[in-house]
Chain A
Amino acid sequence: MTTVAATSHPAPAHHDDRSFLRKYVFSTDHKIIGIQFLFVSLFFLLVGGLLAMQMRWQLGFPGKPMPGGGVLPETMAPGGVILPEYYIQLLTMHGTFMVFFAIMPLLVGVYANFLIPLKIGTHDMAFPRINMWSFWSFFAAGLVMLSSLFVPDGAARAGWTMYAPLSARHDLSGASFGQELWSVSIILVGLSSILGSLNYITTVINNRAPGMTWFRLPLSVWSLFITAILGLLALPVLSGAAIMLLFDQIIGTHFFDPAAGGQALLWQHLFWFFGHPEVYILILPAMGMVSDIIANGSRKPIFGYHSMVFAIVAIAFLGWIVWGHHMFVSGMNPTLGSSFMVSTLVIAVPSAVKTFNWMGTMWRGNIKFTVPMLNAIAFVAMFVIGGLSGIFMAATPVDMQIHDTYFIVAHLHYVLFGGSLFALFAAIPYWYPKMFGRMMSERWGKVHFWLTFVFYNCTFFPMHITGMGGEMRRLYDPNQYTFLQPYQPIRVFISISAFLLFATQIIFFVNFWWSLKRGKPSGLNPWQDNGLEWTLPSPAPHGNWERVPTVYRGPYEFSSPQVPEDYLPQTRKLPSDREPAAASAARH
């Protein structure tokens, strides 16, 4: 490792004579790669949103021509009326884009790349070139997935969970090339994540600045580090399963086809062995960044730093032995259901600890309502709802009733939108100045926050009610069932809220683009934070530091009695501070 890292440390900031292509396209600079991930995955977020709008049209106004739907081909929506076969492509692609191409790269691709070297005080990732490949394989995966929407018999149709044998046999799903492209794309996504994870893990272990001990790492770095470990354990399983699925689809193996001796449940075990760790990959970085932002916004040290770290580790460990809670009624041995139920219920404990510690951090603080802080508080408030609804589903007898209903849809959107996406609406404006040297508009950020908060709850909360009433998920038209017809007004309400929610996001995108050129210049440390990244110019230069900084304390020393200001940067040496051990310094 040492040779790679040593030779690939980029030149110090001011001799930056790389060509445009090397600097902005095939860049090995972790910050540029992070920003590339940001642009691409924001685009996919928009794509995922557009697909959702079409589903909501069909559910709110079944059988009515969709405004603008006339541009779609006959095979999807003749006369603008969505067909069932198009609807199931929409739901499959919505889930796939949101999980693999929006939330996961936004949290990990963007912030593991951007933050880890800046926050631990190093010049770049341990393996910058591998890092570049991680981005490009993600990009290729995204293009493959996107192109599958345009092939003749359409995109994959078996849900983002791709249950076999529906996914494995083209004669059963009615799609062929689209299904195969899904498998190929997922193999590439796995590759991207594996490469990225290797890099993040190595970098955090080896390249910390002098004095940056493990327990002085910001929680954002801790969570990204643990996420990378989870990713390294989970993604190879997904890629492996996707390779088997692809073989079933194209070369006539029958891993998942019982008609020829395969096993249908094998896919589910492999998928969820990846899938549950995946949902924690989608929340841990959010929790970490929110911890940083809440401490900063409350001007108080994080409450219970050590238990926050242990909670991250516990969640990751438990998250890795609970996958069977997606399979309680799948025909899996019911005794296994019992053990998966207990491990799942126990996972609520570290989640509760984290929630109470965030509240403890705000308690007796001096809370500043910046846009990142508002979104971070909303994260806590909304994540709690998702975590608590998880308890209903973890209890096996109750899950028998609500599995595969809109109750699950409500749960997963409370954790993924209410949790992960609100955390991103906090993180994006928070680190925007270090990326681009400018601030996003505070006023429009607040408008966006409040409208999103209201429409988001109007969209997803009522799904608990229809789910309790037994409304199954993934139905093209619930009105087929007489007992679901009375819920149509709720579905209309949800759809209208969803359209407004989508429209509100335009504010965010415009603010994002507008501020790139016109935002207020930010200066070094606009949030008066203690992290190492805030000692650098904004935007941070190539290679970050000429000489790596020395760290004297943890990242959460807000309102310390040692200084008159209410923050105390990690690099500031007070007379009482000692130089860290030379051994650590020698590495750089």
Chain B
Amino acid sequence: MRWWLPLKASTFTGPIDGLFLAILIITGIAFVLVEVGLLWFVVKYRQRPGRKAFYTHGSTRAEVIWTVIPAVTMVALGLISNHYWVEIKGRNSIPPNAYPIGIHAKQFEWQVTYPGPDGKLGTSDDFTVRNQLHVPVGRPIVVALSSEDVIHSFYVPQFRVRQDAVPGMDIKAWFQATVPGTYELGCSQLCGLGHYRMRAQVFVQTQEDYDAWMKQAAQEASS
């Protein structure tokens, strides 16, 4: 069991985990300030006989301070987050050389279409495998997501990547795996009674292993 974000297995983990940590530090400071302050006041200013509270309606200076500091912090956080957001999800974020894979979601399975030996989707050598996503390591992958019926969501926690698959829409999402291994792809949008078992295996392989698997799978598919 982990007490932190999942294992890191894609290039997004750097910026996303870093941002998470930064926000944890900022909110952690605010959290400690407030909770310790509350506790301290509760103890220090508890009712005692003969005491009267200090009569005041506020302090403009204090209020300006505690408005401006959060405001500046939030705007700065917004700008930094946006920088990474544009890199990860922006309209032009998908690397031009990304390797295409088609994923069609349907109640309750993932149909993964591979581009075949020519490396292009939509050609006659494409083939489709259920609930198995094989990707080469160290290479940007672009997933063309579509859905047959309801909204599903493509989620690989170790890659920090999530994108809804919406019927009637063609949506592209990209990522680049960094660590070979086996992971799980889950559906993270309630899609019906089988939502909980809408799951696929993800295999991150070296380019050679991937090519070998691809050759064999293409053959099996065509026979």
Is A584 part of the contact surface with B, judged by Cβ < 8 Å? no
Question: Do A472 and B188 touch (CB < 8 A)?
Answer: yes
Contact check: which of B41, B55, B81, B89 meets A395 at CB < 8 Å? B81
Is A364 part of the contact surface with B, judged by Cβ < 8 Å? yes
Contact check: which of B52, B187, B188 meets A405 at CB < 8 Å? B188
Contact with B along A459-490 (1 / 0, CB 8 A): 00000010011101111111011110011011
Chain B residue with Cβ nearest A476: B196
Is A342 part of the contact surface with B, judged by Cβ < 8 Å? yes
Bound-state CA distance A172–B149 (Å) is 7
Question: Do A159 and B166 touch (CB < 8 A)?
Answer: no
Question: Do A172 and B88 touch (CB < 8 A)?
Answer: no
Question: Do A483 and B194 touch (CB < 8 A)?
Answer: no
Taking each of A83, A157, A369, A481, which has the highest tally of chain B beta carbons within 10 Å of its own beta carbon?
A481
Give the tally of cross-chain contacts (CB within 8 A).
Answer: 301
Is B213 part of the contact surface with A, judged by Cβ < 8 Å? no
Contact with A along B28-45 (1 / 0, CB 8 A): 001100110110011001
Question: Do B160 and A264 touch (CB < 8 A)?
Answer: no
Bound-state CA distance A335–B41 (Å) is 44
In chain B, residues 158-191, which have Cβ atoms closer than 8 Å to a Cβ of chain A? 158, 160-164, 166-169, 171, 183-184, 186-191
Bound-state CA distance A357–B53 (Å) is 16
B45 contact set on A, CB distance < 8 A: 298, 362-367
A502 contact set on B, CB distance < 8 A: none
Question: Do B38 and A395 touch (CB < 8 A)?
Answer: no
Q: How far is the CB of A183 from chain B (nearest CB, A)?
A: 17
Is B58 part of the contact surface with A, judged by Cβ < 8 Å? yes
> Provided the pairs A330-B164, A559-B53 are in contact, do residues A388 and B31 lie with their beta carbons within 8 angstroms?
yes
Question: Do B55 and A368 touch (CB < 8 A)?
Answer: no
Is B216 part of the contact surface with A, judged by Cβ < 8 Å? no
Q: How far is the CB of B125 from chain A (nearest CB, A)?
A: 29
Is A442 part of the contact surface with B, judged by Cβ < 8 Å? no
Is A51 part of the contact surface with B, judged by Cβ < 8 Å? no
Question: Do A369 and B46 touch (CB < 8 A)?
Answer: yes
Bound-state CA distance A346–B51 (Å) is 40
A483 contact set on B, CB distance < 8 A: 6, 157-158, 183-184
Contact with A along B1-37 (1 / 0, CB 8 A): 1111110000010011001100110110011001101
Bound-state CA distance A105–B120 (Å) is 56
Taking each of A331, A334, A359, which has the highest tally of chain B beta carbons within 10 Å of its own beta carbon?
A331
Chain B residue with Cβ nearest A475: B196
**Looking at chain B's contact residues, is the secondary structure mostly helix, strand, loop, or mixed?**
mixed
B167 contact set on A, CB distance < 8 A: 165, 258-259, 264
Question: Do B51 and A366 touch (CB < 8 A)?
Answer: yes
Question: Do B171 and A331 touch (CB < 8 A)?
Answer: yes
Is B207 part of the contact surface with A, judged by Cβ < 8 Å? no
Is B62 part of the contact surface with A, judged by Cβ < 8 Å? yes
Question: Do A329 and B162 touch (CB < 8 A)?
Answer: yes
In the complex, identify which listed stretch (B64-72, B95-103, B111-119, B134-142) lies at the interface while the others stay far away.
B64-72
Bound-state CA distance A84–B108 (Å) is 13
Question: Do A345 and B31 touch (CB < 8 A)?
Answer: no
In chain A, residues 427-470, which have Cβ atoms closer than 8 Å to a Cβ of chain B? 465, 468-470
Is B74 part of the contact surface with A, judged by Cβ < 8 Å? yes
A345 contact set on B, CB distance < 8 A: 74-75, 77-78
Question: Do B38 and A377 touch (CB < 8 A)?
Answer: yes
A263 contact set on B, CB distance < 8 A: 168
> Provided the pairs A166-B191, A365-B45, A472-B186 are in contact, do residues A391 and B23 lie with their beta carbons within 8 angstroms?
yes
Bound-state CA distance A396–B189 (Å) is 18
Question: Do A397 and B19 touch (CB < 8 A)?
Answer: yes
Contact check: which of B91, B107, B169, B193 meets A264 at CB < 8 Å? B169
Bound-state CA distance A456–B115 (Å) is 51
B187 contact set on A, CB distance < 8 A: 472
A337 contact set on B, CB distance < 8 A: 85, 89
A303 contact set on B, CB distance < 8 A: 56-59
Bound-state CA distance A157–B107 (Å) is 15
Q: How far is the CB of B36 from chain A (nearest CB, A)?
A: 11
A367 contact set on B, CB distance < 8 A: 41-42, 45-47
Question: Do B53 and A366 touch (CB < 8 A)?
Answer: yes
B66 contact set on A, CB distance < 8 A: 352-353, 356
> Provided the pairs A334-B89, A365-B53 are in contact, do residues A474 and B190 lie with their beta carbons within 8 angstroms?
yes
> Provided the pairs A329-B153, A352-B70, A400-B162 are in contact, do residues A172 and B192 lie with their beta carbons within 8 angstroms?
yes
Question: Do B63 and A353 touch (CB < 8 A)?
Answer: yes
In the complex, identify which listed stretch (A10-18, A136-144, A379-387) lies at the interface while the others stay far away.
A379-387
Chain A residue with Cβ nearest B168: A258
Question: Do B5 and A401 touch (CB < 8 A)?
Answer: yes
Q: How far is the CB of B105 from chain A (nearest CB, A)?
A: 12
Is B130 part of the contact surface with A, judged by Cβ < 8 Å? no
> Provided the pairs A265-B166, A362-B41, A559-B54 are in contact, do residues A395 and B23 lie with their beta carbons within 8 angstroms?
yes
Is A341 part of the contact surface with B, judged by Cβ < 8 Å? yes
B47 contact set on A, CB distance < 8 A: 299, 366-369
A333 contact set on B, CB distance < 8 A: 91
Q: How far is the CB of B168 from chain A (nearest CB, A)?
A: 3
Contact check: which of B15, B88, B193 meets A84 at CB < 8 Å? B193
Is B214 part of the contact surface with A, judged by Cβ < 8 Å? no
Chain B residue with Cβ nearest A308: B58
Q: How far is the CB of B178 from chain A (nearest CB, A)?
A: 16
B186 contact set on A, CB distance < 8 A: 470, 472, 481
Question: Do A396 and B82 touch (CB < 8 A)?
Answer: yes
Question: Do A300 and B89 touch (CB < 8 A)?
Answer: no
Is B133 part of the contact surface with A, judged by Cβ < 8 Å? no
A571 contact set on B, CB distance < 8 A: none
Question: Taking beta carbons and an 8 Å cutoff, which residues of A are in contact with B?
Answer: 83-85, 88, 91, 157-159, 163, 165-166, 172-174, 258-259, 262-265, 298-305, 307, 329-331, 333-335, 337-338, 341-342, 345-346, 348-349, 352-353, 355-357, 359-360, 362-369, 377, 380-381, 384-385, 388-389, 391-392, 395-398, 400-401, 403-405, 465, 468-470, 472-478, 480-483, 486-487, 489-490, 558-561, 566
A-B contact pairs, 7 of them (CB 8 A): A163-B151, A345-B77, A352-B67, A367-B47, A381-B35, A395-B23, A397-B81
List 6 A-B pairs, minimum CB-CB distance, nearest first.
A258-B168, A470-B157, A364-B54, A304-B58, A388-B27, A476-B196
